[in-house]
């Protein structure tokens, strides 16, 4: 279980301190699939980084499995069982996809085992396993490899920051299936930051964050109808899919 | 050979036992072993120190190992090795020099290698430099490599210096005739107060000659690196040189890629980049559970792989 207690975060802006996260209280129960959504600039990604330890809160406490992790670094949190998939995955010259998946799994996986994680995210494993994680990969390919590293870790808490960003519409369908499968197979909790209605649709719980605060929270049946009434939540892709469904 | 020499041999030539094919092992300035084959002859020079390696035309899929090991402190070794690679042959040549210096005197090996690559011959050349030892004495390597490539020949050179060499001044010169192709991949890591200069001059003298000279390096601590690569296009040719370096600590790096076109159809490109490890790379690996130091080591290892 992950608990955020009165968590705030601020950055130094032009006009003094600017609050990005304001006194947020949130609990993610074990085995839950939670999606955080809300307008751009509302503080969603910052919240994910606070959970992974990439940012430190200005106030408040964060607990994971009963342990106070507020002052723990990224590495310690990762080793306690928190995984984080970047919105914009990082490139590495020379490090191969296989190396990265092995580092993620923390064991000497066979190439065949590593390939399974790539197949899981819809990449033809043999074409990718020896590729370098460098600029020769497209944004969508990198994104899927990023998700594969989180799958390989198989931790108690997996946080995905906008997994759909940079993925083409054709791959998006597969991405939904990845999360559906992950939901069935994992013992841990999944926290996804997303604007996508289809991802919201498979959530146990939806949390809406706007202007650094939680403005809505509950089962998708309750939160979604309110949310979809607002123009900001309906982006072009969601429209596309809904129209596609009608055809 | 003693155990220190055997271990260094494994470092520089991946040799764990007597190699197959032709070889010449030089230890502390003396020949420690030699083998020749029907197609590859190795002959000691008489006027200066060194060997001639003669590879018969048409020799295919054979290899020559010529590692050098220095384990006596204060040893200064200068050798001239000439390779005559016959037409249409296809061979692998593994050189390499390892210095173990536990004493207080400098140990130095200067190898002057000349390659005469015959028409349509293919050569893969691997050269590794390695140093170790706890003494105050410096480990110094100053290789000079000259490559003369005849029409249609190709050569791939892998030059590696990852650890323990205090001072190195590498000079490489190549001349390519029509249709010849040269590929150089250099990997270098310096640490402590090490000093490394790598200088290439590649002349593309014939039509369709091509060269690709690429260096990847990491400079740590207070070390200094200079990469100076010059490609001269004297015909309708293509050349590319690239230096990609990671700088760490208080290290200094000078990259000097140079192009000289003396023909309107010479197509030459250079690239150079120096930068520190990106913070987000370290953060990503830390989210996989690595410490900052482990993350840094993985990034460096990957970069130099």
pLDDT digits (tens, 9 = 90+) for B272-283: 999 999 999 999
pLDDT tens per residue, range A48-72: 999 999 999 999 999 999 899 999 9
CB-based contact B304 A83, cutoff 8 Å: no
What's the ipTM? 0.89
Question: Could you tell me if A147 lies within 8 Å of chain B, comparing CB atoms?
Answer: no
Residue of B72 and B117 predicted with greater confidence:
B117
Domain total in chain A: 1
Q: How confident is the model at residue A16, as a pLDDT?
A: 79
Asked if residue A234 has pLDDT above 70, the reply is no
Structure confidence at residue A240 as a pLDDT band (50, 70, 90) = low
Distance CA B43, CA B50 (A): 9
CATH number of the domain residue A172 falls in: 3.40.50.300
The minimal CB distance from A103 to the residues B216, B278, B290 is found for B290
pLDDT tens per residue, range A5-49: 999 999 887 777 788 899 999 999 999 999 999 998 899 999 999
Structure confidence at residue B145 as a pLDDT band (50, 70, 90) = very high
Mean pLDDT of A148-153: 93
Would A247 be classed as within a structural domain? Answer: no
- Chain A interface, best mutation among B218, B244, B281, B288, by max A CB count within 10 A: B288
Distance CA A61, CA A71 (A): 9
Question: Could you tell me if A52 lies within 8 Å of chain B, comparing CB atoms?
Answer: yes
User: Which residues in B lie closer than 8 A to residue A74 (C-beta atoms)?
Assistant: 283, 286-287
Q: How confident is the model at residue A247, as a pLDDT?
A: 47
pLDDT tens per residue, range A173-193: 888 888 988 888 888 999 999
Would A191 be classed as within a structural domain? Answer: yes
Q: How confident is the model at residue A18, as a pLDDT?
A: 82
Would A196 be classed as within a structural domain? Answer: yes
Paired sense of beta strands B90-100 and B122-132, if any: parallel
Would A217 be classed as within a structural domain? Answer: yes
Q: How confident is the model at residue A217, as a pLDDT?
A: 93
- Chain A interface, best mutation among B218, B289, B299, by max A CB count within 10 A: B289
Q: How confident is the model at residue B265, as a pLDDT?
A: 98
CA separation, residue B258 to residues B79, B173, B207 (Å): 30, 14, 20
Structure confidence at residue A245 as a pLDDT band (50, 70, 90) = low
Size of interface A-B (CB pairs under 8 A): 59
Domain region containing A13 = 2-236
N- to C-terminal Cα distance for chain A?
42
The minimal CB distance from A74 to the residues B216, B281, B287 is found for B287
Neighbours of A217 (CB within 10 A): 17
H helix or E strand, kind and range, residue B91? strand B90-100
């Amino acid at each position: 279980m992950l608990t955020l207690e009165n968590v705030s975060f601020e950055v130094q802006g032009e006009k003094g301190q600017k609050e990005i996260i304001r006194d947020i209280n949130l609990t993610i129960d074990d085995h839950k699939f939670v999606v955080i959504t809300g307008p751009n600039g509302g503080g969603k990604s910052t919240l994910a980084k606070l959970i992974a330890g990439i940012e430190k809160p200005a106030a408040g406490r964060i607990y994971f499995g009963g342990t106070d992790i507020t002052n723990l670094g990224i590495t310690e949190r990762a080793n306690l069982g928190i995984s984080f998939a970047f919105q914009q995955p990082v490139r590495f010259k020379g490090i191969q996809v296989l190396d990265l998946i092995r580092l993620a799994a923390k064991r000497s996986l066979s190439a065949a085992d590593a390939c399974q994680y790539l197949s899981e995210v819809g990449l033809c494993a043999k074409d990718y396993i020896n590729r370098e994680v460098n600029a020769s990969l497209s944004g969508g390919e990198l994104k899927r490899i990023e998700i594969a590293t989180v799958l390989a870790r198989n931790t108690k808490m997996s946080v995905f920051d906008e997994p759909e960003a940079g993925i083409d519409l054709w791959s998006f369908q597969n991405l939904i299936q990845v999360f559906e499968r992950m939901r069935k197979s994992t013992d841990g909790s999944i926290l996804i930051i997303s604007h996508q209605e289809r991802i919201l649709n498979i959530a146990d719980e939806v949390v809406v964050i706007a202007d650094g605060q939680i403005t809505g929270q509950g089962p998708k049946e309750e939160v979604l109808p309110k949310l979809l009434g607002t123009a900001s939540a309906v982006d072009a892709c969601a429209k596309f899919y809904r129209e596609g469904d009608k055809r | 050979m003693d155990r220190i020499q055997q271990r260094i041999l494994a470092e520089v030539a991946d040799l764990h036992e007597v190699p197959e094919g032709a070889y010449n092992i030089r230890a502390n300035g003396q020949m420690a072993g030699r083998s020749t084959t029907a197609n590859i002859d190795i002959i000691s020079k008489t006027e200066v120190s060194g060997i001639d390696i003669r590879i018969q035309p048409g020799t295919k899929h054979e290899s020559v190992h010529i590692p050098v090991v220095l384990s006596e402190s204060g040893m200064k070794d200068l050798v001239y090795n000439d390779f005559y690679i016959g037409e249409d042959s296809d061979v692998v040549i593994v050189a390499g020099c390892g210095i173990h210096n536990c004493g207080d005197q400098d140990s130095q090996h200067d190898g002057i290698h000349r390659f005469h690559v015959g028409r349509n011959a293919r050569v893969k050349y691997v050269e590794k430099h390695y140093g170790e030892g706890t003494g105050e004495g410096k480990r110094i390597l100053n290789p000079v490599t000259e490559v003369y490539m005849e029409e249609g020949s190709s050569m791939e050179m892998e030059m590696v210096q990852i650890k323990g060499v205090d001072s190195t001044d590498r000079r490489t010169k190549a001349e390519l005739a029509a249709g010849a192709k040269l590929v150089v991949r250099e990997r270098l890591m310096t640490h402590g107060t090490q000093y490394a200069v790598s200088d290439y001059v590649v002349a593309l003298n014939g039509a369709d000659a091509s060269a690709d000279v690429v260096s990847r390096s990491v400079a740590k601590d207070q070390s200094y690196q200079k990469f100076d690569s010059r490609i001269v296009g004297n015909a309708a040719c293509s050349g590319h040189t690239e230096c990609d370096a990671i700088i760490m600590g208080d290290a200094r790096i000078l990259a000097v890629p140079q192009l000289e076109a003396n023909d309107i159809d010479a197509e030459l490109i250079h690239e150079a980049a120096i930068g520190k490890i990106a913070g987000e790379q370290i953060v990503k690996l830390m989210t996989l559970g690595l410490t900052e130091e482990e993350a840094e080591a993985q990034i460096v290892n990957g970069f130099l792989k």
